Structure 1
Protein backbone atom coordinates (compact mmCIF):
# COMPACT_ATOMS: atom_id res chain seq x y z
CA UNK A 1 0.00 0.00 0.00
CA UNK A 2 2.78 2.54 0.71
CA UNK A 3 4.07 2.21 -2.85
CA UNK A 4 0.59 2.94 -4.26
CA UNK A 5 0.32 6.01 -2.02
CA UNK A 6 3.79 7.15 -2.99
CA UNK A 7 2.98 6.75 -6.71
CA UNK A 8 -0.19 8.80 -6.18
CA UNK A 9 1.78 11.59 -4.50
CA UNK A 10 4.38 11.52 -7.26
CA UNK A 11 1.63 11.71 -9.90
CA UNK A 12 0.02 14.69 -8.14
CA UNK A 13 3.40 16.38 -7.95
CA UNK A 14 3.97 15.91 -11.70
CA UNK A 15 0.45 17.14 -12.53
CA UNK A 16 0.97 20.15 -10.27
CA UNK A 17 4.24 20.99 -12.00
CA UNK A 18 2.60 20.68 -15.43
CA UNK A 19 -0.22 22.98 -14.32
CA UNK A 20 2.29 25.45 -12.87
CA UNK A 21 4.17 25.68 -16.19
CA UNK A 22 0.99 25.86 -18.26
CA UNK A 23 -0.20 28.85 -16.22
CA UNK A 24 3.21 30.51 -16.59
CA UNK A 25 3.03 30.09 -20.37
CA UNK A 26 -0.56 31.34 -20.36
CA UNK A 27 0.79 34.48 -18.66
CA UNK A 28 2.80 35.20 -21.80
CA UNK A 29 0.03 34.15 -24.18
CA UNK A 30 -2.56 36.58 -22.75
CA UNK A 31 -0.39 39.70 -22.99
CA UNK A 32 -1.30 40.48 -26.62
CA UNK A 33 -4.96 40.38 -25.60
CA UNK A 34 -4.55 43.24 -23.15
CA UNK A 35 -4.46 41.06 -20.02
CA UNK A 36 -1.78 41.70 -17.42
CA UNK A 37 0.06 38.42 -17.96
CA UNK A 38 2.99 39.40 -15.77
CA UNK A 39 0.66 39.48 -12.77
CA UNK A 40 -0.62 36.01 -13.69
CA UNK A 41 3.00 34.84 -13.64
CA UNK A 42 3.55 36.43 -10.21
CA UNK A 43 0.33 34.91 -8.83
CA UNK A 44 1.19 31.47 -10.16
CA UNK A 45 4.69 31.70 -8.68
CA UNK A 46 3.28 32.78 -5.32
CA UNK A 47 0.86 29.83 -5.26
CA UNK A 48 3.69 27.45 -6.19
CA UNK A 49 5.84 28.91 -3.42
CA UNK A 50 3.06 28.56 -0.85
CA UNK A 51 2.37 24.96 -1.87
CA UNK A 52 6.07 24.05 -1.65
CA UNK A 53 6.77 26.13 1.49
CA UNK A 54 9.09 28.27 -0.66
CA UNK A 55 11.58 25.40 -0.95
CA UNK A 56 12.76 26.48 -4.41
CA UNK A 57 12.78 30.27 -3.98
CA UNK A 58 12.04 32.90 -1.34
CA UNK A 59 9.08 35.22 -0.90
CA UNK A 60 11.58 37.97 -1.73
CA UNK A 61 11.99 36.45 -5.19
CA UNK A 62 8.23 36.68 -5.67
CA UNK A 63 8.42 40.29 -4.45
CA UNK A 64 11.04 41.07 -7.09
CA UNK A 65 8.77 39.55 -9.76
CA UNK A 66 5.92 41.72 -8.46
CA UNK A 67 8.04 44.88 -8.69
CA UNK A 68 9.05 43.96 -12.25
CA UNK A 69 5.38 43.42 -13.12
CA UNK A 70 4.29 46.77 -11.72
CA UNK A 71 7.12 48.57 -13.52
CA UNK A 72 6.44 46.85 -16.84
CA UNK A 73 2.68 47.41 -16.67
CA UNK A 74 3.27 51.09 -15.94
CA UNK A 75 5.91 51.36 -18.65
CA UNK A 76 3.46 50.01 -21.20
CA UNK A 77 1.23 53.06 -20.76
CA UNK A 78 4.07 55.54 -20.40
CA UNK A 79 5.91 54.36 -23.53
CA UNK A 80 3.10 55.61 -25.78
CA UNK A 81 3.33 59.07 -24.24
CA UNK A 82 7.13 59.05 -24.26
CA UNK A 83 7.27 58.07 -27.93
CA UNK A 84 4.66 60.71 -28.77
CA UNK A 85 6.87 63.28 -27.02
CA UNK A 86 9.89 62.10 -29.02
CA UNK A 87 7.84 62.74 -32.16
CA UNK A 88 7.16 66.33 -31.09
CA UNK A 89 4.03 66.03 -28.96
CA UNK A 90 2.79 68.60 -26.50
CA UNK A 91 1.56 67.45 -23.10
CA UNK A 92 -1.90 67.25 -24.68
CA UNK A 93 -0.74 64.64 -27.18
CA UNK A 94 1.06 62.70 -24.48
CA UNK A 95 -2.09 62.49 -22.38
CA UNK A 96 -4.03 61.58 -25.50
CA UNK A 97 -1.67 58.65 -26.10
CA UNK A 98 -2.10 57.35 -22.54
CA UNK A 99 -5.86 57.79 -22.36
CA UNK A 100 -6.42 56.72 -25.96
CA UNK A 101 -4.46 53.51 -25.45
CA UNK A 102 -6.36 52.69 -22.27
CA UNK A 103 -9.85 53.48 -23.55
CA UNK A 104 -9.14 52.06 -27.00
CA UNK A 105 -8.30 48.71 -25.44
CA UNK A 106 -11.52 48.77 -23.42
CA UNK A 107 -13.80 49.93 -26.25
CA UNK A 108 -12.39 47.58 -28.87
CA UNK A 109 -12.46 44.45 -26.68
CA UNK A 110 -16.02 43.39 -27.58
CA UNK A 111 -15.58 44.20 -31.29
CA UNK A 112 -13.67 41.14 -32.47
CA UNK A 113 -12.05 39.24 -29.62
CA UNK A 114 -9.36 38.20 -28.95
CA UNK A 115 -7.06 40.56 -30.86
CA UNK A 116 -9.37 43.55 -30.74
CA UNK A 117 -8.05 44.60 -27.32
CA UNK A 118 -4.52 44.79 -28.67
CA UNK A 119 -5.65 46.55 -31.82
CA UNK A 120 -7.77 48.94 -29.75
CA UNK A 121 -4.80 49.90 -27.59
CA UNK A 122 -2.69 50.65 -30.64
CA UNK A 123 -5.39 52.54 -32.53
CA UNK A 124 -6.50 54.32 -29.36
CA UNK A 125 -2.97 55.54 -28.61
CA UNK A 126 -2.67 56.87 -32.15
CA UNK A 127 -6.12 58.51 -32.21
CA UNK A 128 -5.85 59.92 -28.69
CA UNK A 129 -2.49 61.55 -29.39
CA UNK A 130 -3.60 62.72 -32.84
CA UNK A 131 -6.92 64.22 -31.74
CA UNK A 132 -5.65 66.03 -28.66
CA UNK A 133 -2.62 67.30 -30.56
CA UNK A 134 -4.89 68.65 -33.34
CA UNK A 135 -7.09 70.33 -30.73
CA UNK A 136 -4.10 71.90 -29.04
CA UNK A 137 -1.76 72.74 -31.93
CA UNK A 138 -4.20 72.95 -34.88
CA UNK A 139 -1.58 71.31 -37.10
CA UNK A 140 -2.74 68.06 -38.74
CA UNK A 141 0.69 67.11 -40.15
CA UNK A 142 2.35 67.44 -36.76
CA UNK A 143 -0.54 65.60 -35.10
CA UNK A 144 -0.17 62.68 -37.53
CA UNK A 145 3.53 62.46 -36.67
CA UNK A 146 2.72 62.54 -32.94
CA UNK A 147 0.03 59.88 -33.40
CA UNK A 148 2.50 57.66 -35.23
CA UNK A 149 4.94 58.06 -32.35
CA UNK A 150 2.23 57.10 -29.86
CA UNK A 151 1.40 54.02 -31.95
CA UNK A 152 5.06 52.96 -32.02
CA UNK A 153 5.27 53.51 -28.27
CA UNK A 154 2.21 51.34 -27.66
CA UNK A 155 3.69 48.54 -29.78
CA UNK A 156 7.00 48.90 -27.90
CA UNK A 157 5.15 48.61 -24.60
CA UNK A 158 3.60 45.27 -25.61
CA UNK A 159 6.96 43.98 -26.80
CA UNK A 160 8.57 45.08 -23.51
CA UNK A 161 5.88 43.23 -21.55
CA UNK A 162 6.37 40.03 -23.52
CA UNK A 163 10.17 40.20 -23.14
CA UNK A 164 9.82 40.85 -19.39
CA UNK A 165 7.38 37.94 -19.03
CA UNK A 166 9.78 35.60 -20.83
CA UNK A 167 12.63 36.82 -18.62
CA UNK A 168 10.53 36.27 -15.50
CA UNK A 169 9.76 32.71 -16.57
CA UNK A 170 13.42 32.01 -17.31
CA UNK A 171 14.33 33.29 -13.81
CA UNK A 172 11.59 31.10 -12.30
CA UNK A 173 12.88 28.09 -14.25
CA UNK A 174 16.39 28.69 -12.95
CA UNK A 175 15.06 28.81 -9.38
CA UNK A 176 12.80 25.76 -9.70
CA UNK A 177 15.32 23.53 -11.48
Structure 2
Protein backbone atom coordinates (compact mmCIF):
# COMPACT_ATOMS: atom_id res chain seq x y z
CA UNK A 1 0.00 0.00 0.00
CA UNK A 2 2.96 2.32 0.65
CA UNK A 3 4.02 2.15 -2.99
CA UNK A 4 0.49 3.04 -4.14
CA UNK A 5 0.44 5.96 -1.71
CA UNK A 6 3.72 7.35 -2.97
CA UNK A 7 2.69 6.86 -6.61
CA UNK A 8 -0.48 8.88 -5.97
CA UNK A 9 1.39 11.62 -4.08
CA UNK A 10 3.99 11.96 -6.83
CA UNK A 11 1.28 11.85 -9.52
CA UNK A 12 -0.51 14.74 -7.78
CA UNK A 13 2.73 16.73 -7.69
CA UNK A 14 3.42 16.06 -11.38
CA UNK A 15 -0.13 17.05 -12.35
CA UNK A 16 0.32 20.28 -10.37
CA UNK A 17 3.25 21.17 -12.64
CA UNK A 18 1.26 20.24 -15.74
CA UNK A 19 -1.18 22.89 -14.50
CA UNK A 20 1.53 25.49 -15.14
CA UNK A 21 1.33 24.71 -18.84
CA UNK A 22 -2.39 23.96 -19.03
CA UNK A 23 -4.04 26.54 -16.76
CA UNK A 24 -7.38 24.73 -16.95
CA UNK A 25 -5.80 22.18 -14.57
CA UNK A 26 -5.93 23.58 -11.03
CA UNK A 27 -2.30 22.88 -10.11
CA UNK A 28 -2.50 24.13 -6.54
CA UNK A 29 -5.43 21.80 -5.82
CA UNK A 30 -3.40 18.81 -6.99
CA UNK A 31 -0.44 19.97 -4.91
CA UNK A 32 -2.58 20.18 -1.77
CA UNK A 33 -4.22 16.93 -2.87
CA UNK A 34 -0.79 15.28 -2.77
CA UNK A 35 -0.38 16.37 0.85
CA UNK A 36 -3.83 15.02 1.73
CA UNK A 37 -3.17 11.73 -0.07
CA UNK A 38 0.02 11.40 1.98
CA UNK A 39 -1.95 11.99 5.17
CA UNK A 40 -4.56 9.42 4.20
CA UNK A 41 -2.07 6.72 3.23
CA UNK A 42 0.53 7.37 5.90
CA UNK A 43 -0.25 9.84 8.67
CA UNK A 44 -1.45 13.37 9.18
CA UNK A 45 0.56 13.50 12.42
CA UNK A 46 3.71 14.55 10.57
CA UNK A 47 1.83 17.39 8.87
CA UNK A 48 1.53 19.78 11.79
CA UNK A 49 -0.49 22.95 11.89
CA UNK A 50 2.78 24.82 11.14
CA UNK A 51 3.06 22.86 7.93
CA UNK A 52 -0.52 23.67 6.92
CA UNK A 53 -0.16 27.34 7.87
CA UNK A 54 3.03 27.60 5.82
CA UNK A 55 1.43 25.90 2.83
CA UNK A 56 -1.63 28.16 2.99
CA UNK A 57 0.65 31.20 2.99
CA UNK A 58 2.40 29.82 -0.09
CA UNK A 59 -0.96 29.22 -1.80
CA UNK A 60 -1.87 32.87 -1.22
CA UNK A 61 1.54 33.97 -2.53
CA UNK A 62 1.05 31.72 -5.55
CA UNK A 63 -2.29 33.34 -6.45
CA UNK A 64 -0.92 36.85 -5.89
CA UNK A 65 2.19 36.13 -7.99
CA UNK A 66 0.01 34.83 -10.80
CA UNK A 67 -2.26 37.87 -10.87
CA UNK A 68 0.43 40.49 -10.35
CA UNK A 69 2.90 39.14 -12.93
CA UNK A 70 0.34 39.00 -15.74
CA UNK A 71 -1.17 42.41 -14.95
CA UNK A 72 2.27 43.98 -14.55
CA UNK A 73 3.46 42.60 -17.90
CA UNK A 74 0.48 43.96 -19.78
CA UNK A 75 0.41 47.34 -17.99
CA UNK A 76 4.18 47.79 -18.34
CA UNK A 77 3.83 47.46 -22.11
CA UNK A 78 0.90 49.87 -22.34
CA UNK A 79 -1.95 47.37 -22.33
CA UNK A 80 -5.42 47.83 -20.93
CA UNK A 81 -7.94 45.70 -19.09
CA UNK A 82 -9.20 44.51 -22.48
CA UNK A 83 -5.69 43.19 -23.15
CA UNK A 84 -5.67 41.42 -19.78
CA UNK A 85 -9.06 39.81 -20.42
CA UNK A 86 -8.02 38.83 -23.94
CA UNK A 87 -4.80 37.37 -22.60
CA UNK A 88 -6.68 35.32 -20.00
CA UNK A 89 -9.14 34.00 -22.58
CA UNK A 90 -6.28 33.19 -24.95
CA UNK A 91 -4.45 31.42 -22.13
CA UNK A 92 -7.42 29.16 -21.53
CA UNK A 93 -8.27 28.48 -25.17
CA UNK A 94 -4.81 28.56 -26.82
CA UNK A 95 -3.43 25.21 -25.61
CA UNK A 96 -6.51 23.38 -26.89
CA UNK A 97 -6.72 25.12 -30.26
CA UNK A 98 -2.99 25.01 -31.02
CA UNK A 99 -1.42 22.17 -29.03
CA UNK A 100 2.08 22.79 -27.63
CA UNK A 101 2.64 26.38 -28.82
CA UNK A 102 -0.90 27.52 -27.98
CA UNK A 103 0.18 28.18 -24.40
CA UNK A 104 2.40 30.98 -25.73
CA UNK A 105 0.45 32.07 -28.79
CA UNK A 106 -2.95 32.13 -27.03
CA UNK A 107 -2.23 34.86 -24.45
CA UNK A 108 -0.35 36.92 -27.03
CA UNK A 109 -3.15 36.77 -29.62
CA UNK A 110 -5.82 37.25 -26.97
CA UNK A 111 -4.19 40.45 -25.73
CA UNK A 112 -3.67 41.73 -29.28
CA UNK A 113 -7.27 40.99 -30.28
CA UNK A 114 -8.60 42.55 -27.07
CA UNK A 115 -6.62 45.73 -27.66
CA UNK A 116 -7.57 45.95 -31.35
CA UNK A 117 -11.29 45.26 -30.98
CA UNK A 118 -12.24 46.72 -27.60
CA UNK A 119 -9.71 49.54 -27.14
CA UNK A 120 -9.30 50.37 -30.85
CA UNK A 121 -5.52 50.54 -30.47
CA UNK A 122 -3.16 50.62 -33.43
CA UNK A 123 -1.67 47.31 -34.51
CA UNK A 124 1.73 48.29 -33.08
CA UNK A 125 0.25 49.20 -29.69
CA UNK A 126 -1.75 45.96 -29.63
CA UNK A 127 1.32 43.87 -30.45
CA UNK A 128 3.25 45.65 -27.70
CA UNK A 129 0.49 44.71 -25.25
CA UNK A 130 0.63 41.12 -26.54
CA UNK A 131 4.38 41.00 -25.89
CA UNK A 132 3.74 42.31 -22.37
CA UNK A 133 1.16 39.58 -21.89
CA UNK A 134 3.61 36.94 -23.00
CA UNK A 135 6.34 38.25 -20.71
CA UNK A 136 3.86 38.45 -17.82
CA UNK A 137 2.70 34.88 -18.47
CA UNK A 138 6.27 33.56 -18.57
CA UNK A 139 7.20 35.45 -15.38
CA UNK A 140 4.04 34.16 -13.70
CA UNK A 141 4.77 30.58 -14.75
CA UNK A 142 8.33 30.79 -13.47
CA UNK A 143 7.19 32.30 -10.15
CA UNK A 144 4.51 29.62 -9.71
CA UNK A 145 6.98 26.84 -10.52
CA UNK A 146 9.44 28.14 -7.92
CA UNK A 147 6.68 28.49 -5.31
CA UNK A 148 5.39 24.97 -6.01
CA UNK A 149 8.91 23.56 -5.68
CA UNK A 150 9.29 25.36 -2.33
CA UNK A 151 5.94 23.93 -1.20
CA UNK A 152 7.09 20.41 -2.06
CA UNK A 153 10.42 20.95 -0.29
CA UNK A 154 8.53 22.14 2.82
CA UNK A 155 6.42 18.97 2.57
CA UNK A 156 9.48 16.71 2.47
CA UNK A 157 11.08 18.60 5.35
CA UNK A 158 7.88 18.12 7.38
CA UNK A 159 7.74 14.38 6.79
- Structure 2 residue aligned with 1:125: 107
Looking at structure 2, the residues matched to 36 and 70 of structure 1 have their Cα atoms a distance apart, in angstroms, of 14
Query: After TM superposition, where is structure 1 displaced by more than 4 Å over at least 4 residues in a row?
Result: 50-53
Larger Rg: 1
Q: Give the drift of 1:32.
A: 1.4
Once the two structures are superposed, the pairs formed by residues 66-105 of structure 1 within 5 Å of their partners are 66-89=56-79, 93=80, 95-105=81-91
- Corresponding residue pairs, total: 157
SS in 2 for 1:110: helix
Q: Structure 1 residues 123, 96: closer, same or farther in 2, change over 3 A?
A: farther
1:43 aligns with 2:26: no
Q: Structure 1 residues 111, 131: closer, same or farther in 2, change over 3 A?
A: closer
TM-score (norm 1): 0.71
TM-score (norm 2): 0.77
1:26 aligns with 2:15: yes
Unaligned runs of 5+ in 1: 1-11
**Over aligned residues, Cα RMSD in angstroms?**
2.7
Q: 1:144 aligns with which of 97, 113, 127?
A: 127
- 1:23-70: per-residue Cα shift (whole Å, max 9, x none)? 223322342122222221112212323554522122452343234224
Looking at structure 1, the residues matched to 95 and 36 of structure 2 have their Cα atoms a distance apart, in angstroms, of 29
1:155 aligns with 2:155: no
SS in 2 for 1:72: helix
